[in-house]
Amino acid sequence: MSDTLSALLATGFEGAIAIVAGGAGGVGAAVVSQLTTHGARVVIASRSGDALDPGRSAPACGEAISAALDLTDPASIRAFADWAGVVLGRLDLLVNSAGVTRSVSLGRLDLLDDALIDLVMTSNATGAIRLIRDLQPLLDRGEQPCIVNISSVAARTGVGSNIAYVGAKAAMDAVTHALAKALAPRIRVVGIAPSALDTPFAKGRGQDFIDRTVAATPLGRLATTTEVANAVLCAARLLTATTGIVIAVDGGRHL
């Protein structure tokens, strides 16, 4: 990496305030690791996070703290946003990487019960929309504010863990495009779309699934959470003229 790009990362994230929804595992955890390495002040927002204490200090540079957030519960989202307003005061980067899904064959609509549809849609789409809405005042006060939505190549290919998941990710791609126009020029909005990643979830779907996915991927391998996190950081601080686009990090799986 050139000295100029290294400097942009160092100066761009040093002291920056970031919230990573779904930051306790997977892509979110990889994003948190890179942000803190570059000196950001990070809140890991998840259902397993610490209780919201308005007297708590904001994280220091290079530090991450945990906070409770349930994207399936509008009251939890509102409480989290109120807490962030008191503790953080502003927001420079929001990363929406949370989401729940379950593998259901696309042709087995009879197995896609109402509870699963609601869970997948709220955790992957409508909850993120509510979170963006409620955190907008903090983003308006941020420095070079940016929203990065973690999507999926499923939104483009129509193939994913289940039909509701495909629909939720397609919805978030549309929201990314719309918000980029609605929030410009103050706030940039970028989507990052991985394919199946080299994670326990993908491996849990069986070796046949992995073999078929790799065979359909031009680069012949699964991407890693680190590679997706790399894209998030680039979108947030290096691609400063980029907004309203979804960037594939999928080894060419979308082709």
- Of 65-74, 79-88, 179-188, 245-254, which gets the smallest average pLDDT? 245-254
User: Quick one: tokens of 160?
Assistant: 């994913």
Pairing of strands 41-46, 64-68: parallel
pLDDT of amino acid 12: 86
Q: Order of strands, edge to edge, in the sheet holding 41-46?
A: 64-68, 41-46, 17-21, 93-96, 146-150, 188-194, 246-249
CA–CA distance, 195 with 254 (Å, rounded to integer): 8
Which of the pair, 54 or 254, is modelled with greater confidence? 54
Report the chain's C-alpha Rg in angstroms.
18
**Helix, strand or coil for residue 73?**
coil
In tens, the pLDDT along 194-241 reads: 987 666 665 666 677 777 777 778 888 888 999 999 999 999 999 999
**At residue 210, what is the residue type?**
I
Which DSSP helix (H) or strand (E) runs through 154? helix 154-157
Return the top range by mean pLDDT from 8-12, 180-184, 201-205.
180-184
Which of the pair, 133 or 6, is modelled with greater confidence? 133
Cα–Cα distance list, 197 to 26, 201, 222, 225, 229 (Å): 9, 8, 5, 7, 12
CA–CA distance, 37 with 246 (Å, rounded to integer): 25
CA–CA distance, 94 with 236 (Å, rounded to integer): 9
In tens, the pLDDT along 125-158 reads: 999 999 999 999 999 999 999 999 999 998 898 8
The pLDDT-based confidence of 97 (bands split at 50, 70, 90) is very high
> Between 114-121 and 163-182, two packed helices, what is the crossing angle to 10 degrees?
30
- Give the pTM: 0.92
pLDDT of amino acid 74: 98
pLDDT at 2 over 60: no
pLDDT at 106 over 90: no
CA–CA distance, 108 with 52 (Å, rounded to integer): 40
Classify burial at 108, counting beta carbons within 10 Å of its beta carbon; exposed 0-12, middle 13-18, buried 19 or more.
exposed
**At residue 175, what is the residue type?**
V
pLDDT of amino acid 98: 95
Contact (Cβ atoms closer than 8 angstroms) between residue 16 and residue 32: no
pLDDT at 5 over 80: no
